[in-house]
Amino acid sequence: MGVTVREKIKGSGQWWVFLNHNGVRKSKLVGGKVAALSVKRELEKQIAEGSFKLEKKEMPTFGEYASRWIATTVPVTCKTSTLENYQNKLNKHILPFFDKLPITEVNRMKVKEFLMEKANQGLSNSVLGNFKTIISGALSLAIDDGSLTSNPSYRLGKSFRSKKEPLIVEPLTTEDLALLLKTFKTHYPAYYPIALTLARTGMRIGEVLGLQWKDIDFRSGLINVNRSFSRGKVGTPKGGKGRRVEMSNQLTETLQSLLRERKADKLSNGWKELPEWVFINSKKEPVCDSHFRDRVFEKVLVKAGLRKIKVHTLRHTYASLLVQNGESLVFVKEQMGHDSIKTTIDIYSHLAPRGNHDAVNRLDDAPICTLSAPKR
């Protein structure tokens, strides 16, 4: 209760006056510290004399700020897939708990109660972390709007048990992968180059569909991963940075053949220019990721008689086969585009060959060295 002054951003020189009186919270940017203190003294005087009057307005709810945050802030700072993920979690989990609650009633205890309830439901730590991000974003917007002076979602302490959740991957075997590719080539030949690129590079489906011909260096046998195409939008690869991946001879020949076909199509169809995208639909636009997943990949699995897997399993299969063939985890990290070698180790190190028995045995044949004091 009362009147306070402070800088929202320390050192900015922008001083705000915050009023909390009879259930009404208000804030206003005044300018310098001297001016803010002067306004503070005047408000305190009016309150003490009983002459201060302020119309009490209904406090905005958490749901209002959450809706504004996800509509304005998230699209600018996050990818489309992240926006959809946050929107889903907000609607399904967070709003049923916080929606109609006045923003000033969202305190640390309520946030903790929510997170602990979800933890007890068995949701993973990564999902709980998403919840905290969404809640914090809405509360930060309320601070900018002057409804709050601090964010109650900060520094919550240990609100749920920390546990290690290793990613369990179930890659295809070499034989199953060969069967999958053969089925693509036989029944869906137009999509075979996409499947082979996934299987021979470990690229994500969005990265594959985002390829342009200028990204492929046939001379050096390398692909430059510069962008991603997902949900009809072009974005950056995961992590925000590109990388270079090696092409196998088989993939090189397949993409070269596809380029020759594309050039022939250009001549026969009278196209002015060659489409820049490597994998295109009838409109010369990039193939849609959902179309490939739902209308092609799943049907190929059925025809091949293989278990149901995600397209992303081909990425894990690629990395797993490299590791099993004795390639270094550092090479696998670079090919996969992991930010840290720890990610590669955590997921794939158990697949590495368990060592060279002959190399260990050779230690038995090493001459025994006797250490003695040097003669003088």
Q: Which fold has domain 174-351?
A: hpI Integrase; Chain A (1.10.443)
- Amino acid letter for position 209: L
Q: What is the mean pLDDT of the chain?
A: 86
Q: State the pLDDT at residue 133.
A: 93
Q: State the pLDDT at residue 371.
A: 47
Summarize pLDDT for 83-142 with one digit per residue, the tens: 889 999 999 999 999 999 999 899 989 999 999 898 888 888 889 989 999 999 999 998
Q: To which H or E segment does residue 244 belong?
A: strand 243-246
Q: State the pLDDT at residue 259.
A: 97
Name the one residue in this structure whose structure tokens are 């439901």. 121
Domain-wise residue ranges, the chain: 2-49, 62-144, 174-351
* DSSP state for residue 221 in the 8-state scheme: T
Q: State the pLDDT at residue 265.
A: 94
Q: State the pLDDT at residue 96.
A: 94
Q: Which of 166-172's residues contact partners 24+ apart within 8 Å by CB, and which partners?
A: 166/346, 166/347, 167/346, 167/347, 169/313, 169/316, 169/320, 169/347, 169/348, 170/309, 170/313, 170/316, 171/313, 171/316, 171/317, 171/319, 171/320, 171/321, 172/306, 172/309, 172/313, 172/314, 172/317
Q: To which H or E segment does residue 131 belong?
A: helix 125-144
Residue 211 to residue 244: CA distance in whole angstroms: 12
Residue 189 to residue 257: CA distance in whole angstroms: 13
Backbone φ and ψ for 343, nearest 5 degrees, come out as -60, -45
Closest among 129, 94, 133, 99 to 114, alpha carbons compared: 94
Per cent of the chain over pLDDT 90 is 51
Q: Are strands 24-31 and 216-217 parallel, antiparallel or unpaired?
A: unpaired
Residue 48 to residue 36: CA distance in whole angstroms: 18
313 versus 47: which is more confidently predicted?
A: 313
Contact 248, 321 (CB under 8 A): no
Question: Does 13 score more than 70 pLDDT?
Answer: yes
Whether the pTM exceeds 0.85: the reply is no
Residue 239 to residue 341: CA distance in whole angstroms: 14
Residue 278 to residue 210: CA distance in whole angstroms: 8
CATH number of 62-144: 1.10.150.130
The per-residue DSSP string of 83-115 comes to HHHHHHHIIIIIHHHHTTSBGGG--HHHHHHHH
Residue 254 to residue 71: CA distance in whole angstroms: 43
Q: To which H or E segment does residue 29 belong?
A: strand 24-31
Residue 19 to residue 79: CA distance in whole angstroms: 38
**Token pair for 176:** 């199953």
Specify which of 27-41, 111-125, 171-185, 231-245 reaches the highest per-range mean pLDDT.
Answer: 171-185
Q: How many CA atoms lie within 13 A of 304 on its CB side?
A: 25
Contact 191, 278 (CB under 8 A): no
Q: State the pLDDT at residue 311.
A: 96
CB atoms within 10 A of CB 29: 11
The per-residue DSSP string of 257-318 comes to HHHHHHHHHHHHHT-SS--SBSSB-TTSSBPPHHHIIIIIIHHHHHHHTPPP--TTHHHHHH
Mean pLDDT of 327-350: 87
